[in-house]
Structure 1
């Protein structure tokens, strides 16, 4: 019997050439996207409708208010009767600071815990327009912790939490955990992330000063929102979902979070969009819990909850779809009894 003719090998050169072309185009594209996402907002940092209070008697406060409104679109002015009301508004995170006008000269109330960059910017703006800059008194109503006076730890927290969430979602996908097992793994990993990061940032570095368990919960919830999103996209799209979720969180969520400055200092609509992504919402929620007794925590908490719900739902749906499409194991053919003899 003659051997069957050999099948000619499939030419691999065209396929390899296409792959090389994809790499050659994709890497510079990602580099350009990363540079744009990180450098552009930083280069365009400026106040845009930044909430600022003006307090004091009408005769003294009116000129200050006019001068601040003259800075086209820089400040969103809130009027208060006296210094006590302005302080309460700062502690409630309604405004970033306030100018209290009086006969002895203006007093600038700031909250470096809401953003050291904002506090510095307000101080420069108020002293620049004051008739006598030496008479401007500055009071930090809600200061940053002494262990982290520049707010560096909180300002850089968005990226590590995003990386932790991406790692959790990716590992769940690569280990092929599905359905409730995947959900349980994501919940457990996020809880551990929250406890570990709180131990580092609060107990060791002293950069967070709020309720320890509340901070751990916020940190874990932020990591869960990222991880559930990545795992959910992977459950619906396959491993390519990791390639969608990871850049979304790192290249957009991190630089658009406004954690290093403030959302109102970023170009529009970057600051607004950043607060709709888990890194930005998680950073705002952590700032509220750590320094402002939970003031203005509802909106970012709801944002994170929505991401978690959508991500875990996608994980469960992907698990159900995988169970339905999984082929049944082939059964061994039954042997027909043969007569003996």
Structure 2
């Protein structure tokens, strides 16, 4: 009897075990069953991400237009008002200065993009190193000025020719005859005093590039894209150091070492090899190193706080927010609203402006760019240390 009961009990348990296993398999099958809803949601989510990326990189270019470009002007107020009226509405923000030398100094300090000299010898001062697109815009204004001067000269020549013809007609009349009604009265010697139209001198508008680009980067394309390797390099360095270095304190050391080595390597390529960067080699190394270290430190800081998801936060701040509004290829005045000014406080904008100033504008103020990079770098290091303290606090709590 005992044997039968045991057998019955074993059979029941086995039956229940088989039922439980079957239920588990059925649940797994339902869980892994292809779902049209999940597929569509994944497709919509991916399309949204692609759209956001497209907007981030194309919006500044599509909506950019020259507006309130600071340009110096030498001349009287009437001439300045005329230039402002002839230029596209809102394009120029003219700053009246007293001399050509003062205008040149403002260009070298990057206070203005160029200058208009509106005296008897008209001249346009440009700076392709500051912005090739703006230099092209000023060249167009020079062409308009020349056309206007030529038109005025032609009009003056026509008036002179008409006066000469009237004088010749009056001189050809017989002696004692009366001039036709309305004809101008001629005095002896008027023909000799008529101006010679061919002798009129027409001023020519000259264009002078005060701060030209280097021959190795005559279009400025190299300098414009130099910020991209710094941005990508900072992200790559941040991802690798956060994944390969597990100690939070050692991540800070890795970031500093990466900035030193990466800045030297990038400057060797951009300045020594390609000739894109100019100026002091050591300062360029420091600027490039600080740029990549700032991004790498930021990524490591977020990873130390919240884990691998921090990589996305650092990349978004740098690549998808900071880079599109960095004004690397066009002046910050081309962007809508205050986005151009805001972009100068992110790592891509600050590093791009700093390297341009170090290469071509040593007289320009650079404190803002240096402090912006130092600020992002310090924030990243601080986040790493906070993450380190937070992790140790959790360990102590767990032990106790």
TM bracket (short chain): 0.7 to 0.9
Number of paired residues?
A: 326
Superposed, which structure 2 residues align to 1:191-230 within 5 Å? 191-230=260-299
Residue 132, structure 1, aligned to residue 201, structure 2? no
Match of 1:75 among 78, 82, 92: 92
Distance verdict in 2 for CA 1:290–1:135, change over 3 Å: same
Residue 156, structure 1, aligned to residue 225, structure 2? yes
Match of 2:108 among 74, 85, 91: 91
| CA-based RMSD | 2.5
- Which blocks of at least 5 consecutive residues in structure 2 are unaligned? 1-9, 151-202
Residue 114, structure 1, aligned to residue 130, structure 2? yes
CA deviations on 1:59-113 (whole Å, 9 max, x unpaired) are xx63134422664332222111010000000001111111111202x21111111
Residue 156 of structure 2 corresponds to: none
Residue 44 of structure 1 corresponds to: 63
Residue 236, structure 1, aligned to residue 236, structure 2? no
Asked whether the 8 Å contact 2:142–2:207 carries over to 1, the reply is: no
> TM-score of the superposition, structure 1-length normalised?
0.87
Structure-2 separation of matches of 1:182 and 1:164: 16
* TM-aligned CA deviation for residue 151 of structure 1: 1.0
SS of the residue 1:210 aligns to: coil
Residue 307, structure 1, aligned to residue 354, structure 2? no
Task: From the two aligned structures, give the one with the greater helix fraction.
Answer: 2
Residue 182, structure 1, aligned to residue 251, structure 2? yes
Asked whether the 8 Å contact 1:55–1:81 carries over to 2, the reply is: yes
* TM-aligned CA deviation for residue 177 of structure 1: 3.1
Asked whether the 8 Å contact 2:280–2:359 carries over to 1, the reply is: yes
SS of the residue 1:99 aligns to: strand
SS of the residue 1:252 aligns to: helix
Residue 32 of structure 2 corresponds to: 13
SS of the residue 2:215 aligns to: coil
SS of the residue 1:135 aligns to: coil
CA deviations on 1:218-270 (whole Å, 9 max, x unpaired) are 11111112111222122222211111221222222222111111111122232
Structure-2 separation of matches of 1:321 and 1:170: 21
* TM-aligned CA deviation for residue 129 of structure 1: 4.7
CA deviations on 1:186-228 (whole Å, 9 max, x unpaired) are 1111111111111111111111111001011111111112111
Distance verdict in 2 for CA 1:238–1:15, change over 3 Å: farther
Structure number with bigger Rg: 2
* TM-aligned CA deviation for residue 314 of structure 1: 0.6
- Which blocks of at least 5 consecutive residues in structure 1 are unaligned? 331-341
> TM-score of the superposition, structure 2-length normalised?
0.75
Asked whether the 8 Å contact 1:178–1:315 carries over to 2, the reply is: no
SS of the residue 2:129 aligns to: helix
